[in-house]
Chain A
Amino acid sequence: MTIEAKPTNGARSRLDPEAMPRRDFLGLTAWWSAAAALLFGFLGSMRLPKAAVLPSPSKKFKITLPASLASGQAYVPAGRSAAIYKEGMQVYAVSTICTHLGCIVKATDSGFDCPCHGSKFAKDGAVLKGPAPKGLPWIEVKHLGGDNFLIDEGKSVAAGTTVTV
């Protein structure tokens, strides 16, 4: 059995929503410093997922162009995303990574086709069709003598830059 007691003089009833006494400076400082510490720690720890260094290995590789490579025919080394062309005495390399969403484009007789969203590129990398925002970048080629070349997929050069054999 619950018995309601009568209010006594000077006491206030808990059932009435009463104004709380203003919180003291100490309590507020305590809460805010705790919040500050937690926030600072949280913000600091949120820096963790952004890696400070990326494991970007060297993308340089050496190739030997086959003697049978016809002028204007793409040579795509296995496992690499670069197409190397030899036109006369001029050698250049075009990246085969689609500028749209990163699929590997396939070299065809007329240029490059992207299997993912239908972009088409010319042999010099220019966009012919599809959603690709820009042409395929040209990448750095260095002549090492004979039919040997050093390709650096990590370094793009201005379109039209060729190496004379």
Chain B
Amino acid sequence: MNQAAEKPNATEPPASARFIENLKAFPNRLADTMFRTGRPQSDRTRATFVFGNVFLHLHSVRTHQWSLRWSTTWGLGIATASCFFILLLTGVLLMFYYKPYPEVAYLSIKDIHFVVPTGRFMRNIHRWSGNMMVVLVLLHMARAFYTAAYRAPREFNWLIGMALLVMTLGLSFTGYLLPWDQLAYWAITIGANIAQSPREVTDALGITEWFDVGGLQKLILLGSEDVGEEALIRFYLLHVMILPLAVVLLMAVHFWRIRKDGGMTRPADAEKRLGSRVDGVYPVFTAAPEKTYSLAAIVKGRTAAVGEGPEWTLPSMPHLMFAEAAVFMLTIALSVILALFLDAPLKEVANPAVPENPAKAPWYFLGLQELVAHSAFMGGIGIPSIVLIGLALIPYLDRETEGTGNWFGGPGGGPLVFRSVIVGLAAVVALEALVIRFGWLRQWWPATPQLVVTLLNPGTLLTVLYAWYSLWCLRRFDSTRAGALALFTCFVCGFIVLTVIGTYFRGPNWDFYWSPSQWPGH
């Protein structure tokens, strides 16, 4: 123990003065401690800023120039995430006034619309960015598929993306019930009965008594036999708590994996196609590092960046930041513009005694509803499951490398996609025309057993047609990628056409009409 060391330095001012001094210095010190490495004003401090900041460190410090091209991603992922961010914010605000109880819920929406300050605008934003998110997440998936971004080492991220897609639809669907109007009530009633539709199969097999998975699904979803207060509180819980938490978690993993899987997919010849390298920046590495510097146990083997030089990269700050901020603000601008001009719909209060006619599900499920009109199980569960499983398997079944990172890359390429669009559209339009004009099994042979009706949905036939066509392409080009391109394109066409028919050409009793003006008057 040294007595002298404990004594305050004689030259130092007394503690009281230092206290005042510290108080004065507080604002500057606060800023200094906030930006630990100083203000991000040089490339170096910017780099430390990016990896030292909890929100920014999901980005790599430097971004490849290829990733910054608009046509690489069209900003769809960031736009989707932006929508989610807007939805979180407006959703939390709406929760100040929303009361999840039948009838009361409807009235609270009326209050939000009419008297809550900014309430109507917030609800409109929530509604439109919700719809935008569904569209964007689908487009984002299509982008990932068409640039073959699902390929190794990004297979698992594709799966996470699929989970996010399902959850986005779930979020939108659960949110649909909350206003408790006629639209909500009957859309959810239909949805819940689709969940119950495996009973069609178990009934036909006579095993419902022992194995009623359909009934169980509906019971768990609704907490009751009908859409009522139990269902409302469940949907509310899913909508504001369970699904958003799950989405946040998966989004974090999704973003993290982008970085850990080596950033955006780019073609092998990306650097050649970019032309000359960036001038004026002194390259740190003349040769690519060969040693793995993987730190995260999550990634096996070498990091994806190994073997690639940094010359083609630019500092993420400000280049990537500008791009991301631009997409973010564009998304906000679009949603507020929609919100200003279009009010979110609110129909009459839910009336369990008077069904809407036609009762339509949310628009992204109208393609399914078109199939469900023939048999609930195959249209509502069977075919969607086949499609989801098929999508999930794509990265594991297509192990080729040709065309990675290129739009419509791979054997066949653009022309193949174009031909698939023709085939896909032709098949679905012809089938729908047949069904609308001549009916389906029941109209032809009324005695058709239920199991056949259930399984032999027009959608089943369509799926088989598409699968057959894509197999043909696969063999013709001798490429799994060609098969995948054909199949995916066909399904996109089928989805779009069925959705459009369900949205615009189906009227009361799910009859076909060229326009709503032809619907029979009451």
Contact, chains A and B (beta carbon distance below 8 A):
yes
**A1 adjacent to chain B (CB < 8 Å):** yes
- Please state if A5 and B117 are interface contacts (CB–CB under 8 Å): no
Residues of B within 8 A of A68 (CB): none
Q: Report the separation of the CA atoms of residues A31 and B329 in the bound assembly, to the nearest whole angstrom.
A: 10
- Please state if B282 and A7 are interface contacts (CB–CB under 8 Å): yes
Interface footprint category on B: 20 to 34
Where chain A touches its partner, the secondary structure class is: loop
Given A45-B118, A48-B117, A52-B117: A8 and B289 interface contact (C-beta under 8 Å): no
Q: Taking CB as reference atom, which chain B residue is nearest A2?
A: B289
Residues of B within 8 A of A1 (CB): 287, 289-291
- Please state if A5 and B322 are interface contacts (CB–CB under 8 Å): no
Number of A-B pairs whose CB atoms are under 8 Å? 82
Q: Report the separation of the CA atoms of residues A52 and B114 in the bound assembly, to the nearest whole angstrom.
A: 10
- Please state if A37 and B118 are interface contacts (CB–CB under 8 Å): no
Interface stretch of the complex, out of A10-18, A83-91, A107-115, A126-134 = A10-18
Given A8-B282, A14-B284, A15-B44: A34 and B118 interface contact (C-beta under 8 Å): no
**B479 adjacent to chain A (CB < 8 Å):** no
Q: Report the separation of the CA atoms of residues A47 and B118 in the bound assembly, to the nearest whole angstrom.
A: 7
Residue in B42, B89, B97, B122 whose CB lies within 8 Å of A18:
B42
Q: Report the separation of the CA atoms of residues A38 and B332 in the bound assembly, to the nearest whole angstrom.
A: 9
Residue in B43, B119, B284, B325 whose CB lies within 8 Å of A34:
B325
- Please state if B116 and A5 are interface contacts (CB–CB under 8 Å): no
A83 smallest CB distance to B (angstroms): 34
**A30 adjacent to chain B (CB < 8 Å):** yes
Q: Taking CB as reference atom, which chain B residue is nearest A42?
A: B89
Interface set, chain B 321-373, CB cutoff 8 A to A: 322, 325-326, 329, 332, 336
Given A5-B284, A11-B281: A19 and B93 interface contact (C-beta under 8 Å): no
Besides the known contacts A14-B43, A14-B281, A47-B117, 6 further A-B residue pairs in the complex with CB atoms under 8 A apart: A11-B280, A15-B44, A17-B42, A31-B325, A34-B329, A51-B116
- 23 A-B contacts, Cβ less than 8 Å apart? A1-B290, A2-B291, A3-B285, A5-B283, A5-B286, A11-B282, A12-B281, A14-B284, A15-B284, A17-B42, A17-B44, A19-B41, A20-B43, A27-B318, A30-B322, A34-B325, A37-B332, A45-B89, A45-B122, A48-B117, A48-B122, A49-B96, A51-B97
Binding site for B on A (CB under 8 A): 1-5, 7-8, 11-20, 27, 30-31, 34, 37-38, 41, 44-45, 47-53
Binding site for A on B (CB under 8 A): 41-45, 89-90, 93, 96-97, 115-119, 122, 280-287, 289-291, 318, 322, 325-326, 329, 332, 336
